[in-house]
Amino acid sequence: MGDERRKFTRESAAQRKEALIRATLSLIAEKGVRGATVRGIAERAEVTQGLIRHYFSSKEELVTAAFDYHMTQMTDLTFAPAAEVEGSAADRLRVFVQSSLTPPVVDPRSIALWAGFLNKVQHDAQMKETHARTYIDFRDRLQELIRAALEEAGIPARPERLYQLATACNALIDGLWMEGGALPEAFAPGELSQIGLDAVGAIIGLNFEAASAPRRGAQR
């Protein structure tokens, strides 16, 4: 009886690091960066706290790694669906807007992570740079989708106007994303992406709803 030393199995560095990062993200989403304590992270990853020091030289480094991991994952999640679309440019834009405004991108956890990291982003130069780069990358890709869709429709736009359209659509999507994540019960499934599609269409002056794939009780 009594205290027995804890059993353990060795894992590869990559696996352990990822497990620690996932545990970190999970805790940051719940309690913020300061609430994600080294002991809490270790417990959630089912290791003891000393192990964290073995893979990350400080909590700071672990948090930074977790931020990079999360940003990469979110970017992939958002862009992958549109990249697979083979149809028209309008189709790609539509799929992009939809995947940005449905789970798992829209999710309370995802917005909690965004909020949890914001303080660090505002103070840490490296994280600030990653954040700005991700934002610009997102907006540029959206701008390219808009450009292609307008050109395809025979109403090309000048670069300055394209920039404004992309900024507005980006803000619209971010705002809907934020509200869907912060007030999940306030929106019916599909409502966000429906509103988002209509509004993006209105902003860029293109009704791509009726176009190809009909949705929501196709008339006629």
Would you tell me which residues interact with its own copies (CB under 8 A)? 30-35, 108, 111-112, 114-116, 118-119, 121-122, 131-132, 135-136, 164, 167-168, 170-176, 178-179, 182-183, 186, 195-196, 198-199, 202-203, 205
Interacting residues of 65 by C-beta distance below 8 A, sequence separation 6+: 17, 21, 56
When the beta carbons of 47 and 169 are compared against DNA, the nearer one is 47
Out of 1, 7, 125, 188, point to the residue binding DNA (CB under 7 A): 7
When the beta carbons of 144 and 174 are compared against its own copies, the nearer one is 174
Q: Is 14 in the site for DNA (CB under 7 A)?
A: no
Long-range contacts of 67-74 (CB under 8 A, 24+ apart): 67/117, 67/120, 67/121, 67/127, 67/130, 68/130, 69/18, 69/21, 69/25, 70/25, 70/113, 70/117, 71/130, 71/131, 71/134, 74/105, 74/110
Judged by CB under 7 A, which stretch of 4-12, 104-112, 163-171, 210-218 contacts DNA? 4-12
Q: Is 128 in the site for DNA (CB under 7 A)?
A: no
Which residues between 59 and 88 bind DNA (CB under 7 A)? 59-60
Q: Is 29 in the site for DNA (CB under 7 A)?
A: no
> What does 73 bind: its own copies, DNA, none (CB cut-off 5 to 8 Å by kind)?
none
When the beta carbons of 36 and 47 are compared against its own copies, the nearer one is 36
Residue 167 has, within 13 A of its CA and on its CB side, a CA count of 6
Interacting residues of 62 by C-beta distance below 8 A, sequence separation 6+: 20, 21, 24, 41, 52, 55, 56
Q: How far is the CB of 59 from its own copies (least distance, A)?
A: 14
Q: Is 16 in the site for DNA (CB under 7 A)?
A: yes
Question: Which of 99, 109, 104 lies closest to 138 in space, CA to CA?
Answer: 99
When the beta carbons of 34 and 54 are compared against its own copies, the nearer one is 34
Question: Which of 134, 132, 127, 129 lies closest to 78 in space, CA to CA?
Answer: 134
Distance CA 176, CA 203 (A): 15
* Type of residue found at 208: F
Distance CA 136, CA 159 (A): 16
Judged by CB under 7 A, which stretch of 9-17, 79-87, 117-125, 175-183 contacts DNA? 9-17
When the beta carbons of 51 and 162 are compared against DNA, the nearer one is 51
- Chain residues binding DNA by CB under 7 A are 3, 5-11, 13, 16, 34-40, 47-54, 57-60
